[in-house]
Chains A and B, each alone.
Chain A
């Protein structure tokens, strides 16, 4: 049986004066999918998310959420959005913010308690939001986004400003929540580790257009490049590399055929050592894709 469509963008274009932020974009997110929206700054991620959240209207095309218009008030209790920047009113405590936001939803207080516990916000409940760190504010934003147990959540850089330990915890919370509830997630991120851990599908944007999309493993496979690293004190040059870097004699090559590249450099240079062949990271794939297309 086909999973229900949660979000549907059909030929959506968004223009700001002469700038095209999103260009004729079509995309579907199915129930239970966790989709990462990737792109360099200005690629159109925030415009995409704010249109999906009903905060901006597309210049052309249509957007549907849960089978109805994105502006339908009836979908609002089921869909939540965490903007990239969320400054809470400064003289209000954490507890009061949570109390206010939870009034809008049928809040499961056991779930909320667990969430506060896991995000270590319980001890901060009486603190004014102005006294919170950037990371703590982000965690509070996440609590506000999840406490209503949404069917579909959109998170614009959910772990921005959060330390490494906090990021791991948030990834775990999000993964558990969206897996257990079979609900859908759309998020943007610049943290590729987070994307690999959380997303089962990636959408890569460049200049407002989708340049590729699919499961992480498929994108890596389609990308088809290998990463070869080695050590050499000589100035290595090879025609088999698509790109190469040299950091203190530690070379890294991206290539289509690692065997040919290795044969070439071993034949030409006599001090090549510490050879390693890996799949390139998502970061490397993205950098290559953005520079190519």
Chain B
């Protein structure tokens, strides 16, 4: 109940900021229109590009915006006040996580609607549902990555540092252009990036292939590593605050 109440006002606060809502949906959608729609020549390519740019949009919200939001919030007096209320920091983080998931869904829906209107993308109803669920479950690793960004950076440094991670990881992970057409050296690096594993999971799903266990395992390991870094950052933040 408490968690949902906090999630509700976090969502409401952002929903009432048109600039935030428009940019959340418009930024990945714009990339999709520029890079993906012209290349979506048949159902297979449309589905693959839909998966890539959906991953890109979810990654953007749950890593960059979620992380920057936490870093900015930490410097505000309201956050200090929340710490005096009878609610644990863990529950507040869950509420923030729900809010991030809500907006990542919104961003992904923008891509899906564009794909349905302007490309040959096609999935059955149940596949759409699984696609959206998979997009968010596999994206959990980036949620922890966002938490780590939020706790390890400050209000001023979070956005530039976040962008320095977000844009190169998206590109090198093959979320804008297929990994096969990346420069050779980048292709080698790409194989080890979390965004690449994320893409591989979703690409396999829309191509109606089996999702490779190694991709799931790698994403899980990344999720654990990011969660540990985030927890370390959280503890560090708490001790700074208490010191």
Contacts and interface: CB of A to CB of B under 8 A. Distances in A.
Does A pair with B? Answer: yes
Interface of A: 53-57, 73, 76-77, 79-81, 83, 85-92, 96, 99-101, 103-105, 128, 144
A89 B9 contact: yes
29 contacts: A53-B84, A54-B83, A56-B241, A56-B242, A57-B243, A73-B88, A76-B86, A79-B84, A80-B84, A81-B81, A83-B80, A83-B81, A85-B77, A86-B78, A86-B81, A87-B77, A89-B78, A90-B13, A91-B12, A91-B17, A96-B12, A100-B5, A100-B6, A103-B1, A103-B2, A104-B85, A104-B86, A105-B86, A128-B16
Interface residues of B, number: 24
B76 interface: yes
Chain B's interface: helix, strand, loop or mixed, by majority?
helix
A200 to B, nearest CB: 25
A258 to B, nearest CB: 47
A92 to B, nearest CB: 6
Given A73-B86, A96-B9, A91 B2 contact: no
Interface of B: 1-2, 5-6, 9, 12-14, 16-17, 76-78, 80-81, 83-88, 241-243
A104 B87 contact: yes
A91 B13 contact: yes
Nearest to B76: A87
Contacts of B6: 100
Nearest to A101: B85
A98 to B, nearest CB: 11
Contacts of B241: 55-56
Contacts of B16: 91, 128
Contacts of A100: 5-6, 9
A154 B25 CA distance: 43
Contacts of A86: 77-78, 81
B87 to A, nearest CB: 6
Contact of A81 (B12, B17, B84): B84
Contacts of A57: 242-243
Contacts of A73: 86, 88
A99 B241 CA distance: 27
Contacts of B88: 73
B1 A92 contact: no
B96 to A, nearest CB: 13
Contacts of A83: 77, 80-81
B86 A89 contact: no
Nearest to B84: A81
Given A92-B9, A100-B9, A103-B1, A87 B78 contact: yes
Interface pairs A-B: 10 shortest CB-CB: A91-B16, A76-B86, A57-B242, A81-B84, A91-B13, A77-B86, A85-B77, A89-B13, A104-B85, A103-B5
Contacts of B77: 83, 85-87
A92 B76 CA distance: 15
